[in-house]
Chain A
Amino acid sequence: MRARNRIAYGFLAPYLLIFAVFWIWPIIYSFYLSFLSTRAVPWTWAPHMNWGRLWIDPAFWNALRNTLVILFIQVPVMIALATLLAVLLNSQLLKARGIMRFAFFAPVVVGEVAYAAVFRLMFNADFGVINKILTGVGLPAVSWFSNPTAAMALIIMAVTWRWVGYNAIIILAGLQSIPDDVYEAATLDKVSKTKQFFFITLPLLRPIILVCVVLSVIGTMQLFAEPFLITNRGGPGGATETLGLFLYRQGFTVLNFGYASAVAYTIAGLAIIISLINFWLGRDPK
Chain B
Amino acid sequence: MRVKLGCATLALCVAMGASGANAQSGELTIWSWNIAASSLEAVVEGFNAQYPDISVRVDDLGNQQVFDRLLAGCAAGGAGLPDIVSIENHEAEIFWAQFPDCFVNLRDLGYTEELASEFPDFKRTELEVGDAAYAMPWDSGPVVMFYRRDFYENAGVDPASIQTWDDFIEAGIAIAEANPGVTMTRADLNGDTEWVRMIGNEQGCGFFSDDGSAITVNQPGCVAALEKVKEMVDAGIMTAADWDEKIQANNAGTVASQMYGGWYEGTIRSTVPEDQHGLWGVYLMPSLDANGPRAANLGGSSLAITSASQNPEAAWAYVNYTLGTNEGQVTMLREYGLVPSLLSALDDPYVSEPLEFWGGQAVWVDILGTLDDVVPSRGTPFFGDADAIVQAAQTQYINGAFESAQAALDDAASQIALVTGLPIAE
Direct A–B contact in the complex, CB atoms closer than 8 angstroms: yes
Contact between B395 and A232, CB atoms less than 8 A apart? no
Is B75 close to A, CB under 8 A?
yes
Given A146-B240, A236-B190, check contact A41 B97 (CB 8 Å).
Answer: yes
Contact A254 B385, beta carbon cutoff 8 Å: yes
Chain A residues closer than 8 Å to B68, beta-carbon distance: 252-253
- A39: interface (CB < 8 Å): yes
Q: Do B94 and A255 touch across chains, with their CB atoms under 8 A apart?
A: yes
| A41-B99, A232-B242, A252-B68 known; A237 vs B415 contact (CB < 8 Å) | no
User: Chain B residues with Cβ under 8 A from A232's Cβ?
Assistant: 190-191, 242
CB of B256 to closest CB in A, whole Å = 15
| A126 partner, pick from B248, B385, B395, beta carbons under 8 A | B248
Q: How far apart are the CA atoms of A53 and B248 in the complex, in Å?
A: 41
Stretch at the interface among B291-299, B303-311, B312-320, B386-394: B386-394
For A62, give its contact among B71, B241, B392 (CB under 8 Å).
Answer: B392
Query: Do A126 and B71 have beta carbons less than 8 Å apart?
Result: no
List residues 89-103 of chain B with CB under 8 A from any CB of chain A. 94, 97-100
Known: A232-B242, A253-B384. A237 touches B98 (CB 8 A): no
Question: Per-position contact with B for A101-132: 1 when CB-CB < 8 Å, else 0?
Answer: 00000000000000000000000111100000
Whether the pair B248, A236 counts as a contact (CB closer than 8 A) is no
**Cβ contact of B392, chosen from A151, A231, A238, A253, cutoff 8 A:** A238
Q: Identify the closest chain B residue to A124 (Cβ).
A: B245
Report the Cα distance A239→B395, complex, angstroms: 8
Task: Say whether B11 faces chain A, with CB atoms less than 8 Å apart.
Answer: no
Interface presence of A56 (CB below 8 A): yes
Instruction: Check if B22 is an interface residue, CB within 8 A of chain A.
Output: no
Contact B71 A148 (CB under 8 A): no
With A252-B68, A253-B71, A254-B384 as contacts: A238 and B395 at CB distance below 8 Å: yes
* B414 to A: closest C-beta gap in Å: 9
**A145-B190, A146-B189 known; A59-B72 Cβ under 8 A:** no
Number of residues from B at the complex interface, CB < 8 A: 39
Judging by beta carbons under 8 Å apart, are B94 and A41 in contact?
A: no
- Is the pair A252, B71 in contact by a Cβ cutoff of 8 Å? yes
Whether A237 touches B71, Cβ cut-off 8 Å, given contacts A59-B389, A146-B190, is: no
Q: Is A57 an interface residue (CB 8 A)?
A: yes
Q: Is B1 located at the chain interface by the 8 A CB criterion?
A: no
Q: Are B418 and A57 in contact (CB under 8 A)?
A: yes
Kindly state whether residue A137 has any CB partner on chain B within 8 Å.
Answer: no
B249 at the interface (CB under 8 A from A): yes
Closest chain B residue to A237 by CB distance?
B395
Which range holds the interface residue count of chain A? 20 to 34
Residues 239-280 of B at the A interface (beta carbon under 8 Å): 239-242, 245, 248-249, 252, 254
Q: Which of B98, B100, B384, B415 is the one whose CB lies under 8 Å from A59?
A: B415
Residues from chain A with a CB closer than 8 A to the CB of B249 are 126
B3 within 8 A of A: no
Within 8 A of A (CB), among B22-71: 67-68, 71
Nearest A residue to B240 via CB reads A146
A254 and chain B: residue at smallest CB distance: B384
> Given A253-B68, A254-B384, A236–B395 Cβ distance below 8 Å?
yes
Q: Are A59's CB and B388's CB within 8 A?
A: yes
- The minimal Cβ–Cβ distance linking B1 to chain A, given in whole angstroms, is 40
Nearest CB of B to A116, in Å: 15
CA distance A57 to B242 in the complex (A): 27
Q: Is the Cβ of A235 less than 8 Å from the Cβ of B191?
A: yes
- Residues of chain A contacted by B381 (CB below 8 angstroms): 39-40
- A233 close to chain B: CB less than 8 A: yes
**Beta-carbon contact of B191 and A53 below 8 Å:** no
CB closest chain-A residue, reference B100? A41
CB-based contact B98/A255 at 8 Å: yes
Of B97, B381, B411, B419, chain A has the most CB atoms within 10 Å of the CB of B419
Separation in Å of the B317 CB from the closest CB of chain A?
30
In the complex, A235 Cα to B419 Cα: how many Å?
Answer: 20
B87 → chain A closest CB, angstroms = 14
- B404 located at the interface, meaning its Cβ lies under 8 Å from any Cβ of chain A in the complex: no
Tell me if A236 and B415 are in contact (CB < 8 A): no
Query: Given the complex of chains A and B, what is the CA–CA distance between A233 and B249 in angstroms?
Result: 22
Q: Is the CB of A143 within 8 A of B388?
A: no
Alpha-carbon gap, A278 to B94, bound state (A): 43
Query: Across the two chains, which residue of chain B brings its CB closest to A250?
Result: B385
A residues less than 8 Å from B385 (CB atoms): 254
Complex-state Cα separation, A40 to B388, whole angstroms: 19
A145 contacts B391, C-beta separation under 8 Å: no
Which of B241, B242, B391, B411 sits near A238, CB closer than 8 Å?
Answer: B391
Distance in Å: Cβ of A135 to nearest Cβ of chain B = 13
Could you mark each residue 76-110 of chain A with 1 if its beta carbon is under 8 Å from any beta carbon of chain B, else 0? 00000000000000000000000000000000000
A247 CB → nearest B CB, Å: 13
Interfacial chain B residues near A143, Cβ < 8 Å: 239-240
Chain B contacts for A126, CB-based, 8 A: 241, 245, 248-249, 252, 254
A266 at the interface (CB under 8 A from B): no
**A-B interface, 4 closest residue pairs, ranked by CB to CB distance from nearest:** A237-B395, A236-B190, A146-B240, A235-B190
- Chain B residues within 8 Å of A, Cβ to Cβ: 67-68, 71-72, 75, 94, 97-100, 189-191, 239-242, 245, 248-249, 252, 254, 381-382, 384-385, 388-389, 391-396, 399, 411, 415, 418-419
Q: Using a CB–CB distance below 8 Å, which chain A residues touch chain B?
A: 39-41, 53, 56-59, 62, 124-127, 143, 145-148, 151, 231-233, 235-239, 249, 252-255
Q: 13 more A-B contacts (CB under 8 A) besides A53-B419, A145-B190?
A: A41-B97, A53-B418, A56-B418, A59-B388, A126-B248, A127-B248, A232-B191, A236-B191, A236-B240, A238-B391, A252-B71, A253-B67, A255-B98
